[in-house]
C-alpha cells in the first residue's frame, strides 16, 4: 500500500488499480471510503459519498490525481441506499454517464426517502418511547432529498450471487448481506480477493441494526446470518466504508457475532426481572442520554432488533396492552 503525495492523503492504492478514496462527511463517522477499481481503460466506482460540495471536490481531485476522466467511470455499484453511500449517485451518473447498480430493496428505500415523514407517533408509543416537544423531534429524511441526498434510479439491479464482469479479467461477485439494511450487498473483487463490505463489516465500529415500520421483522437475525455467509468467503483484504482496509474478515465477523450475543444476553437478563418496553430495555443496555433524541430512537430500534431475535429464538415473549408492547423472558 502507498499513500498518495501532496499533503493530506485523500486516496490510497490498495492494489494495482484499486484505489480507496476518503470523502468527507458532515457528521460522524467523518469519512466515508469509496473505491475505484480499474479494468482495462475503464473504472468502476463502489459507493459515492454524500452530496456536498466538499465531497464532490474531493472526489474530482481524486479522479484527477489518478488521471481518470469522469467518463472513464463506466459503472457505479453501491452497497446500500444510505446518504453517505448513495447520496451522490444521481449527480455522478450525470457526470460520468456510468451505469448505476443497486439491490432492489435499496432502490425502493432510496425512492421512498422523497416522501418519508418524520417520527411515527403510534410506533413510538408502542415501544414506550416518551413523546418529545416539536423542536426535539427527529427531522424527516425527506428534507435532505434533492440536496444532500440525490439518488439515481438504478439502471440495473443487484442480486445475490450475480457476477459482474468489469473487464480485463476482473469481476465482482455480489454477496447479499441483509442486516444493516435489507438489501445491503458486499462485493468480492476477483481474482484479487478484495472484499468491499460497505457498512456490513467495519473494523472499529458496529453498524446500526434496527427494527423499523415496514422493515424486516428480524434484521439482527439477518445480520448475524450474513456474517456467517461472509465468513465462508475467501478474501485476503477488506475494504470497509469507514475505517482502514484490513485483513481477516473472518475474525472481525466473529467479533461482531460475539458482541451481539453479549448484548442480547444483557437484555435477556433485564427482561427476566420484569416485563419491559423496548425503550426501558434500551435505557438499561445502552448509555444513552434521554435528551438526545437521535440516540433514543437509534438505541430503541436496535434494542427492539435484539428483543425480536430473542423472540424468534423462543427465549422471549411479547405482550401488547393498551397499544404498548412489553417483552419478558420465557
Ligand atoms: Zn449505512
pLDDT in tens, 21-77: 999 999 999 999 999 999 999 999 999 999 999 999 999 999 999 999 999 999 999
Would you say how long the chain is, in residues? 330
If you measure from the C-alpha of residue 245 to the centroid of ligand 1, how many angstroms do you get, rounded to a whole number? 17
Q: Ligand 1 center to residue 275 CA distance, Å? A: 32
Cα-to-centroid distance, 118 and ligand 1 (Å): 19
Q: Measure 80 CA to ligand 1 centroid, in angstroms.
A: 7
Compute, in angstroms, the gap from residue 133 CA to the centroid of ligand 1: 28
Which grid coordinates are listed for 36?
475505484
Q: How far, CA to CA in Å, does 242 sit from each of 14, 283, 316?
A: 15, 27, 34
239-275 residue pLDDT tens: 999 999 999 999 999 999 999 999 999 999 999 999 9
Tens of pLDDT along 130-189?
A: 999 988 999 999 999 999 999 999 999 999 999 999 999 999 999 999 999 999 999 999
- pLDDT above 70: residue 4: no
Q: pTM for the complete prediction?
A: 0.95
Centroid of ligand 1 to alpha carbon of 193 (angstroms): 23
Cα(208) to ligand 1 centroid in Å equals 8
Measure 105 CA to ligand 1 centroid, in angstroms: 14
Amino acid at each position: 500500500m502507498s499513500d498518495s503525495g501532496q499533503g493530506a492523503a485523500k486516496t490510497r492504492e490498495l492494489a494495482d488499480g484499486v484505489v480507496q478514496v476518503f470523502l468527507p462527511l458532515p457528521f460522524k463517522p467523518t469519512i466515508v471510503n469509496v473505491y475505484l477499481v480499474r479494468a482495462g481503460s475503464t473504472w468502476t466506482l463502489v459507493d459515492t459519498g454524500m452530496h456536498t460540495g466538499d465531497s464532490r471536490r474531493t472526489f474530482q481531485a481524486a479522479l484527477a490525481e489518478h488521471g481518470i476522466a469522469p467518463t472513464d467511470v463506466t459503472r457505479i455499484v453501491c452497497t446500500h441506499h444510505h446518504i453517505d453511500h448513495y447520496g451522490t449517485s444521481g449527480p455522478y451518473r450525470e457526470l460520468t454517464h456510468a451505469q448505476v447498480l443497486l439491490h432492489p430493496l435499496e432502490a425502493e428505500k432510496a425512492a421512498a426517502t422523497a416522501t418519508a415523514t418524520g417520527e411515527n407517533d403510534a410506533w413510538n408509543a408502542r415501544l414506550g418511547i416518551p413523546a418529545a416537544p416539536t423542536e426535539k423531534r427527529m427531522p424527516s429524511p425527506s428534507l435532505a432529498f434533492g440536496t444532500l441526498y440525490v439518488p439515481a434510479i438504478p439502471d440495473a439491479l443487484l442480486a445475490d450471487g450475480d457476477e459482474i464482469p468489469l473487464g480485463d479479467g476482473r469481476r465482482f461477485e455480489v454477496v447479499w448481506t441483509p442486516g444493516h439494511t435489507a438489501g445491503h450487498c458486499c462485493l468480492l473483487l476477483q481474482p484479487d480477493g478484495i472484499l468491499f463490505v460497505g457498512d456490513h463489516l467495519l473494523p472499529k465500529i458496529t453498524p446500526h441494526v434496527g427494527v423499523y415500520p415496514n422493515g424486516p421483522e428480524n434484521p439482527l437475525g439477518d445480520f448475524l446470518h450474513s456474517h456467517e455467509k461472509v465468513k465462508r468467503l475467501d478474501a485476503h483484504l477488506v475494504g470497509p466504508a469507514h475505517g482502514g482496509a484490513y485483513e481477516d474478515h473472518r475474525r472481525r465477523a466473529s467479533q461482531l457475532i460475539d458482541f451481539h450475543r453479549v448484548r442480547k444476553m444483557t437484555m435477556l437478563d433485564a427482561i427476566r426481572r420484569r416485563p419491559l418496553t423496548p425503550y426501558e430495555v434500551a435505557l438499561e443496555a445502552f448509555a444513552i442520554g434521554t435528551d438526545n433524541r437521535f440516540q433514543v430512537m437509534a438505541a430503541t430500534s436496535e434494542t427492539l432488533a435484539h428483543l425480536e431475535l430473542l423472540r424468534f429464538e423462543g427465549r422471549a415473549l411479547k405482550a401488547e396492552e393498551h397499544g404498548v408492547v412489553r417483552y419478558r423472558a420465557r
